[in-house]
Amino acid sequence: MLDVYMIKRWFRMNNPGYCSEADCSTATDTVEITGVTLDCSGTEDSPPMRLESIAGHDTPEGGMMAANGAPKMVDLPDEPAPGVGTYEDFNTIDWVREKCKDRDRHREITSRKKESICAWIISISDAFSGWLVVLLVGLMSGALAGAIDISAHWMTDLKDGVCLDGFWFNQEHCCWSSNETTFQERDRCPQWKSWAELITGSTSGPFAYIVNYLSYVSWALLFSFLAVSLVRAFAPYACGSGIPEIKTILSGFIIRGYLGKWTLLIKTLTLVLAVSSGLSLGKEGPLVHVACCCGNILCHLFTKYRTNEAKRREVLSAAAAVGVSVAFGAPIGGVLFSLEEVSYYFPLKTLWRSFFAALVAAFTLRSLNPFGNSRLVLFYVEFHSPWHLLELVPFILLGIFGGIWGALFTRANIAWCRRRKTTRLGHYPVLEVLVVTVVTAVLAFPNPFTRMSSSELISELFNDCSRLDSSKLCDFSNVTGDPFSGALVDRPASKSLTLAMVELCLALIFKMIMTVVTFGMKVPSGLFIPSMAVGAIAGRLLGVAMEQLAYYQHDWVLFSGWCSPGANCITPGLYAMVGAAACLGGVTRMTVSLVVIMFELTGGLEYIVPLMAAAMTSKWVADALGREGIYEAHIRLNGYPFLEAKGEFSHKTLAMDVMQPRRGYPPLSVLTQSGVTVGDAQALIANTSYSGFPVVISPESQRLVGFVLRRDLIISIENAQKRQEGVGSTSQIFFTECTPPPSPDESAPLKLRGIMDLSPFTVTDLTAMDIVVDIFRKLGLRQCLVTHNGRLLGIITKKDILKHMAQMANQDPDTILFN
The sheet with strand 791-797 has its strands ordered as 762-764, 783-788, 791-797
The pLDDT of residue 443 is 95
Measuring CA to CA, which residue among 498, 500, 813, 538 is closest to residue 658? 813
The pLDDT of residue 74 is 58
The pLDDT of residue 296 is 96
The pLDDT of residue 73 is 57
Q: How far is CA 196 from CA 137, 223, 258, 545, 589, in A?
A: 44, 20, 43, 38, 45
Cβ–Cβ < 8 Å for 729, 677? yes
Q: How far is CA 597 from CA 579, 587, 610, 660, in A?
A: 14, 15, 14, 45
Decide the pairing of beta strands 692-696 and 732-734.
unpaired
Q: Report the predicted TM-score, pTM, of the whole model to 2 decimal places.
A: 0.85
Q: What is the DSSP annotation of 364-385? A: HHHHH-TTSSS-S-SS----SS
The pLDDT of residue 749 is 83
Q: What is the DSSP annotation of 217-262? A: HHHHHHHHHHHHHHHHHH-GGGSB--HHHHHHHHTTB--TTTTSHH
Gap between the Cα atoms of 295 and 246, Å rounded: 12
Decide the pairing of beta strands 692-696 and 750-751.
unpaired
Gap between the Cα atoms of 123 and 769, Å rounded: 43
Gap between the Cα atoms of 584 and 406, Å rounded: 8
- What stretches in the chain show pLDDT beneath 70? 1-81, 179-187, 371-378, 467-470, 476-491, 561, 564-567, 815-819
Tell me whether residue 511 is exposed, middle or buried, using C-beta atoms within 10 angstroms of its C-beta: 0 to 12, 13 to 18, 19 or more. Answer: buried
Greatest alpha-carbon span in the chain: 116
Q: What are the residue ranges of helices labelled H in 379-488?
A: 392-422, 429-444, 448-451, 454-462
The pLDDT of residue 75 is 58
The pLDDT of residue 740 is 77
The pLDDT of residue 479 is 53
Gap between the Cα atoms of 553 and 177, Å rounded: 47
Straight-line distance from the first to the last Cα atom of the chain, in angstroms, rounded to the nearest whole number: 58
Cβ–Cβ < 8 Å for 291, 259? no
Vertex 357: Cα angle to 356 and 359 (nearest 5)? 65
Q: Collapse the DSSP code of 565 into the 3-class scheme (helix H, G, I; strand E, B; otherwise coil) and give the result.
A: coil
Decide the pairing of beta strands 732-734 and 750-751.
parallel
Residue 810 backbone zone (phi > 0: left; psi -120 to 50: alpha; other: beta): left
Question: 57-66: long-range contacts (C-beta < 8 A, 24 or more apart)?
Answer: 62/725, 64/724, 64/725, 64/726, 64/748, 66/741
